[in-house]
Amino acid sequence: MPILATMGGQACFEGADALWLNAQTVLVGVGRRTNQLAFDRLSRILADQSVQAVPVEVPATSQHLLGALIFVDEGRALTLRATPSIHAALAAHGVLALDLPVDEETVRGRAANLLTLAPGQVLMPAGNPRTQGRLEAWGIACETVEVGEYIKAAGALGCLAGPLHRALP
């Protein structure tokens, strides 16, 4: 892959703070790990490719945007502690926010730290029956896998994978 640009100076950027909303729009979380300087730089880089970068505030309790927002299909996203700017960006693009509660499963069980395998199908940490039931009630098919050792390191499935496939128009 060619390197189009790099962050320099005081610009700090983390990949988990950039989530593709659609082929023309990227939501960029500005917070703990990505600062405004990095957003400004990334916004210019993406604009050269006819892509709009939309800044959203990362919740203070989240490491990065991926910890607060997980797209499960083209029109729906799971949210956990989402800020008003996240909700506004989703609504502006016709994406339904499915809010998960902050509870034992989403915090200690890392139930929201999951991986979307296909539209409406996720792989999630085992041992979170209430969250799994909620997702299935929303029409999301769930596969589970034991990730207890990784949870001890403060991560789970979303942390273990990058984009598996991204179709371009």
pLDDT, block means (10 residues), the chain with 169 residues: 86 93 95 95 94 96 92 95 97 97 94 92 96 98 92 80 58
- The pLDDT assigned to 79 comes to 97
Q: What single letter denotes the amino acid at residue 40?
A: D
**8-state DSSP, 22:** E
* Residue 31, domain member (yes or no): yes
* Residue 22, domain member (yes or no): yes
Whether residue 132 sits in one domain with residue 112 = yes
Q: 81: alpha, beta or left, given left = phi > 0 and alpha = psi -120 to 50?
A: left
- The pLDDT assigned to 162 comes to 66
Distance CA 115, CA 82 (A): 18
**8-state DSSP, 4:** -
Whether residue 140 sits in one domain with residue 89 = no
- The pLDDT assigned to 166 comes to 55
Whether residue 139 sits in one domain with residue 91 = no
Whether residue 150 sits in one domain with residue 113 = yes
* Residue 168, domain member (yes or no): no
Whether residue 94 sits in one domain with residue 19 = yes
* Residue 156, domain member (yes or no): yes
Whether residue 13 sits in one domain with residue 95 = yes
Q: Give residue 110's domain range.
A: 102-160
Total number of domains in the chain: 2
Distance CA 160, CA 44 (A): 29
- The pLDDT assigned to 167 comes to 55
Residue 65, burial from CB neighbour count under 10 angstroms (0-12, 13-18, 19+): buried
Token pair for residue 163? 């984009």
* Residue 166, domain member (yes or no): no
* Residue 91, domain member (yes or no): yes
Whether residue 96 sits in one domain with residue 106 = no
pTM of the model: 0.89
